[in-house]
Structure 1
Amino acid sequence: MPGSQKFRLQVRSDLRALDQVLSWFDQFDESPIPNTTWMECKTALAEGMTNAIRHAHKDRSSDSPVEIELTLFPELLEIRIWDCGPGFDIDGWLADEQPPLDNEDLEHGRGLLMMQKLVDRLSYDRTADRRNCLLMVKHFPPQ
């Protein structure tokens, strides 16, 4: 798409890689993007990355790759996170309005709800190469 810039990073499935991912993301913090928008996206990225490692890759080697892609447009940004896990129905989970059953369930899924509130579009789909792609889209006003 005209006016877009795309950047990619691949890291190991290890929570210690989160600092590397966030530092990588920060290098693209550009003045046309409002600071609040940037921080919301950075928070959503951290949560998405953590979920990929803790949940999608919980039974996989730490050598399993997690790939992150950032696409910057003049009025929006897209973050994609690919994992190699079994996948799940994010739309069904987010639509389920069942109350948590116990304290453990209170912790489970709060990150998804937070990501949903921080971004304008959230999806998680299986790709043709048998990976999963978490897509987060955030719009911001033109500067």
Structure 2
Amino acid sequence: MPAMQKSGFQAKTDLAELVQVLTWFDNFIQSSLPELTYMQCQTLLAEGFTNAVRHAHKHRASDTPIDIEVQLWNQQVEIRIWDYGQPFDLIQKMKNMPTKIDPDSVGGRGLKLLEQMAEHLSYFRTEDDRNCLLITKLIPSTPDLKI
């Protein structure tokens, strides 16, 4: 079954690009989601993008592209973020993380946030030697107010 709506965006490896990423997302979604789901998807996208910049592309040039795709289905949103970093075992990393994250710690909160907000998370190597972070967020059947 094809996606109800689909859009892609390419950003540079630069945290300043987050503004353009979120603007693109806002323009694409155009009040299609309940407010809470929309805010959670924004947060998931921002976390995924900043993780790609800070970790996957830590030693890469700022012009290294990060590709993003959002698919809006009737019952879920799928966010895909592709990076050129080293392969990474997300499941193992999540298993090794403490159950509670110290709020004063420098890192580690982003992955926990992704895990708590998303219905599904995966990070896999693609045939073109990139990694893809796939985030799935369900759209509630009894939505709250739309934005």
Scaled by the length of structure 2, what TM-score is found?
0.87
Change (3 A) 1:10 1:34: same
Moved over 6 A (4+): none
Partner of 1:111: 110
Change (3 A) 1:131 1:32: same
For structure 1, the residue ranges without an aligned partner over 5 or more in a row are none
Give the length in aligned residue pairs. Answer: 141
Q: How far apart are the structure 1 equivalents of 2:42 and 2:97?
A: 27
> By how many angstroms is 1:103 displaced?
9.4
> By how many angstroms is 1:5 displaced?
1.4
SS in 1 for 2:71: strand
Partner of 2:128: 129
Partner of 2:145: none
Change (3 A) 1:113 1:128: same
> By how many angstroms is 1:87 displaced?
2.4
Partner of 1:42: 42
SS in 2 for 1:138: strand
Alignment RMSD (CA, Å): 2.1
Q: How far apart are the structure 1 equivalents of 2:140 and 2:49?
A: 26
Q: How far apart are the structure 2 equivalents of 1:69 and 1:123?
A: 15
Amino acid at match of 1:14: D
Q: Deviations over 1:45-104 (max 9, x none)?
A: 00110000010001000010000000010110100000000021110011114579x998
Partner of 2:10: 10
Q: How far apart are the structure 1 equivalents of 2:99 and 2:76?
A: 34
Scaled by the length of structure 1, what TM-score is found?
0.90
> By how many angstroms is 1:3 displaced?
5.2
Q: How far apart are the structure 1 equivalents of 2:15 and 2:4?
A: 29
Change (3 A) 1:99 1:140: closer
Partner of 1:120: 119
For structure 2, the residue ranges without an aligned partner over 5 or more in a row are 143-147
Identity percentage over the alignment?
A: 48
1:20 lines up with 2:20 in the alignment: yes
Alpha carbons 1:74, 1:142 under 8 Å: kept: no
